[in-house]
Structure 1
Amino acid sequence: MSAVFMVAARRTAVAPRNGAFAQIEAIDLADTAIRAVLDDAGFPPADVDDVMFGNALYGGGNPARVAALKAGLPVTVPASTVDTQCCAGLDAILLAAARIKAGEADAIVAGGVESFSRAPLRARSPKQPGEIPEPYDRPPFTPWPERDPDMIPAAATLAEEWDISREAQEAFAIESHRKAVARGCPTQEFVPVSGLVRDPFARRLSMGLCTRLPVLAGNASHGVTAATIAVEADAAAAVLLVSETALSRCRLAGRAVRLVGGARSGGDPERPGLAPVGAARTALLRARLSAASLSVAEIMEAFAVQAMICIQELALDPARVNPGGGALARGHPIGASGAIIAVRVWQELQAQSSGATGLAAIAAAGGLGSALLLCAE
């Protein structure tokens, strides 16, 4: 089986819904990211074997194919769109890596894209003549309505069950913003869109502001607020994965990192925030690595409490988690978020010595978790 290498990784800024990317279609965000990784690697579009992108809100069809064609890839290059909601961008990378590892491909562009701003309106067709369409916000994630909570109440339930106070969640969010502001805008990570090369939501968040926010779900002691929930956002991220055979054809071969593990897991759909723990543990076990050995970990911050529990349960060193801030300081472009944290791990490993390892882990509605392990060459 072939080794798999990530030779280029780029992302757009993450812009909150109806913000800087409000007029930009998801396809255009994905197109920009795809072009960027191919240009970085100096890899001919005609040599790409496949394109695999995650997406949750596009409204059907195959946006990966549309974006690939717009990015200038030949019509002979196939493309697939993955929808596992928040896990979709990371799952697309895992699926692409599996194809290369199995010897079915040598080069695949993978990633994720989302536009909350340009998402289609949703409505179900009438069941009877004369009835009007029934609008809905989201599809079901389980067959049991009583076991399919909305994400905000589910996060509040976790906070109460794990006795994680509102104040602790807010302190975590403040730290996420602080790290993001301190990191700034590394040019090697962002691909410009409409001139934006930073995540505009990051700010100097204060405890004084946090304490004035109303509780959105849960009790006064453990409830979640706007500060401890990642905002809906627009973004795209892409990586170029290659086999050892194709590595020599890449201009950035010297910056390649190796994929050393990955896993997907299912968990309790009523507590979806816990699912990444199982995925990360499985990935570490398969790769014969320990959490203590990780140089960096990117844990998705859809909710402060969810990220805090994952860090605790995996026994991760908090100083090595989300060193450039997390989604609480950026935003959560669902189908792109998993790919964004993979890009972040790749970027962090560029400054590490050979053998340094990094973890990306994310949860999704319905009780899904995905994890990826990378190692600096």
Structure 2
Amino acid sequence: MSDRDPVVVAARRTPIGTAGGALRDVTVDELAAPVLRALLTDVGHPADGSAAHVAGVPVSDVLLGNVFGPGGNPARVAALRAGLGDEVPGMTVDRQCASGLAAILAAATAIRAGNGEVYLAGGVESASTAPHRQWPDGTRYTRAPFAPAEIGDPDMGPAADVVAAKAGISRERQDAFAARSHARAVRAQDGGTFGAELVPVAGLIADQRPRSGFTPERLARFRPAFTADGTATAANSCGVNDGAAAVLVVSERVRRTLGVPGLSLTAAATRGCDPNLLGLGAVPAIEAVLQGAPDAVEFTEAFAGQALACLDAAGLDEHTASPNGGAIALGHPWGASGAVLVVRLFSHLVRARRGTTGLSALSSGGGLGVAARWEVVT
């Protein structure tokens, strides 16, 4: 390995809250700050109000994905609130649902370029505290355009129905996938699997969304949520959520100095597809980085039909992806979700030592996809 190869050496997240739930009064910077502090504490360098450093090397930047926040560069606000020192800057990234993973890859690119050796990167979302916006005529601004209207700019839900139909993903298979996601998350939660990665916030110590007793038969009772003859429902789709996740990315040289294991980034890709089929953006990104079958796969389950269509197209086994539940069960805090994938891989591969290779991937608005391949280094 090169001294400049980027390696994740710590990974943390908040419990994921349901919008309007336990984290309803916690702003994005208040969500992210304790996660940033925990990452430094994990490697023995707690933030103390002076310039933050790791193994004598200063933190070069804080990069956080965010989609519906207040503006004003929440990454910088979170860095200051975390006590990293005035000298540590911050940059907020918006690649919609892929923002958290995009921020981590941006930090990795900076390390490879020699711009720095220590970065805090991830994402944060507070759907509960996001400000309401309106157009000059007073009408509610509901979302940003993902593509020019003349090309096609469908909402996420109807687009997921189209993707599932084109891929031939049945309602029954989607409900079974969603039920499995919840069952896995409940089992992991009850078994303490998430404990080492969680940073409690505002009294919340566990993810709010996982539900026991969600069987395929029970899920079959839910009506289509987006189109009259669609297959996506409130039960086999993700929720609207609050949460933050971040990782400490360092150069291989710094990792060796620390003497800790980590996840080395071995390949990454960002790709585009037809915006009308926006849920399939992850497929070309995965194809660009995949080499054989990884030991662990974390894929953001925005919608069961969309997730299954991507996994099928990429040749990945639906039964092995997201082994402790995905976004359908855990929640989908948009700007943070891509970072949640890396936190989960770190727990699975580094903390639990269950394999050596991993893949994190997801689709995002506008027909985009981001994927990254990882390998354990010791």
Asked whether the two chains share a fold, i.e. TM above 0.5, the reply is yes
Query: Structure 1 residue 212 and structure 2 residue 217: aligned?
Result: no
Given that residues 301 and 327 in structure 2 are in contact (C-alpha distance below 8 angstroms), is that contact kept between their aligned partners in structure 1? yes
Q: Given the superposition, is the C-alpha separation of residues 32 and 94 from structure 1 closer, same or farther in structure 2, using an over 3 Å criterion?
A: same
Query: Structure 1 residue 256 and structure 2 residue 262: aligned?
Result: yes
From 121, 128, 133, give the equivalent of 1:117.
128
Q: Please state how far the C-alpha of 1:145 moved relative to its aligned partner.
A: 5.0
Distance 2:8 2:266 in 1: 11
Tell me the residue number matched to 1:274: 280
Q: Please state how far the C-alpha of 1:306 moved relative to its aligned partner.
A: 1.4
Q: After superposition, where does 1:136-285 map in structure 2 within 5 Å?
A: 136-145=141-150, 147-184=152-189, 185=192, 186-204=194-212, 205-218=214-227, 220=229, 222-250=230-258, 253-284=259-290
Distance 1:161 1:112 in 2: 32
Given that residues 173 and 329 in structure 1 are in contact (C-alpha distance below 8 angstroms), is that contact kept between their aligned partners in structure 2? yes
Tell me the residue number matched to 2:49: none
Tell me the residue number matched to 1:333: 333
Tell me the residue number matched to 1:361: 361
Tell me the TM-score normalized by structure 1. 0.92
Distance 1:180 1:163 in 2: 27
Distance 1:95 1:14 in 2: 24
Comparing 159-168 and 340-349, the one that deviates more = 159-168
Given that residues 349 and 357 in structure 2 are in contact (C-alpha distance below 8 angstroms), is that contact kept between their aligned partners in structure 1? yes
Distance 1:25 1:353 in 2: 35
Q: Counterpart of 1:38 in structure 2: which amino acid?
A: L
Given that residues 13 and 199 in structure 2 are in contact (C-alpha distance below 8 angstroms), is that contact kept between their aligned partners in structure 1? yes
Q: Please state how far the C-alpha of 1:59 moved relative to its aligned partner.
A: 3.0
From 37, 55, 63, give the equivalent of 2:74.
63
Query: Alpha-carbon deviations, 1:352-377, whole Å to 9, x = none?
Result: 367x1100001111001001111111
Comparing 151-160 and 35-44, the one that deviates more = 35-44
Q: Please state how far the C-alpha of 1:211 moved relative to its aligned partner.
A: 2.1
Q: Given the superposition, is the C-alpha separation of residues 187 and 107 from structure 1 closer, same or farther in structure 2, using an over 3 Å criterion?
A: same
Query: Structure 1 residue 31 and structure 2 residue 33: aligned?
Result: yes
Question: RMSD of aligned C-alpha atoms?
Answer: 1.5
Distance 1:111 1:263 in 2: 17
Distance 1:139 1:317 in 2: 33
The size of the alignment, in residue pairs, is 361
Distance 1:319 1:263 in 2: 24
Comparing 178-187 and 204-213, the one that deviates more = 204-213
Tell me the residue number matched to 2:16: 14
Gaps of at least 5 residues in structure 2 are 47-51
Given that residues 175 and 216 in structure 2 are in contact (C-alpha distance below 8 angstroms), is that contact kept between their aligned partners in structure 1? yes
Distance 2:130 2:182 in 1: 27
Q: Counterpart of 1:106 in structure 2: which amino acid?
A: E
Given that residues 308 and 318 in structure 2 are in contact (C-alpha distance below 8 angstroms), is that contact kept between their aligned partners in structure 1? no
Q: Counterpart of 1:247 in structure 2: which amino acid?
A: R
Q: Counterpart of 1:364 in structure 2: which amino acid?
A: S
2:196 alignment partner, SS class: coil
Distance 1:169 1:83 in 2: 29
Query: Alpha-carbon deviations, 1:59-92, whole Å to 9, x = none?
Result: 3210000000110112111210001110100000
Distance 1:353 1:15 in 2: 27
Gaps of at least 5 residues in structure 1 are 127-132
Given that residues 61 and 120 in structure 2 are in contact (C-alpha distance below 8 angstroms), is that contact kept between their aligned partners in structure 1? yes
Query: Alpha-carbon deviations, 1:107-138, whole Å to 9, x = none?
Result: 00000000000000011224xxxxxx221110
Q: Please state how far the C-alpha of 1:175 moved relative to its aligned partner.
A: 0.4
Q: Counterpart of 1:214 in structure 2: which amino acid?
A: R
Given that residues 199 and 330 in structure 1 are in contact (C-alpha distance below 8 angstroms), is that contact kept between their aligned partners in structure 2? yes
